[in-house]
Amino acid sequence: MPVSLQVQVRSVRFDRKRILRLAQAMLKIIDEPSADMSVSFVGDGRMRRLNHRFRHTDRNTDVLAFAFREAQAPPTFKLVGPHLGDVVIALPTTQRQAKAAGRPLEEELVALLIHGVLHLCGYDHERSRSEALRMQRKERQMRRRLGRIDRFVRTQHKTPLPTRREV
């Protein structure tokens, strides 16, 4: 399977098959249908640690992309193959962003996944203003091509424990 999914949060339940199909559709849109990648949903603490370790920024962020093809390797080791890399999304941050923007969680997750996938393919909005605009155009194009997104998340509501009086 070209896409693997890892969920490290319990506050949300995912329809794994729909997310995997969505990510595979993204790979097809960017002309990488035989490539593989992994998608991970993590908590804010894990994301902050990853951001600190790999980007030397001691704060949380919403999405990180680890592009395998851009990784540094010894000169004799050729980084060619089907693995694009890993996209990591901080779910609590994504939930806050969706709420602040007044849009469904799925929509925010799709936007971040597209953003991460484009980073895996070499797009980088931090390089220059023109590259940022190029990436934004590609994000909009991909979102249009994906069309309607079926629901794939459901928030888990914790049932409160009964108080002593209720017992």
At a CB cut-off of 8 Å and minimum separation 6, what does 31 contact? none
Cβ atoms 40, 87 nearer than 8 A: yes
Cβ atoms 155, 94 nearer than 8 A: no
- Write down the pTM of the prediction: 0.84
Euclidean distance between CA atoms 118 and 107, whole angstroms: 17
Into which CATH architecture does domain 3-155 fall?
3-Layer(aba) Sandwich (3.40)
pLDDT digits (tens, 9 = 90+) for 52-91: 999 999 999 999 999 987 655 445 555 455 789 999 999 9
Considering only CA atoms, give the Rg of the chain.
Answer: 18
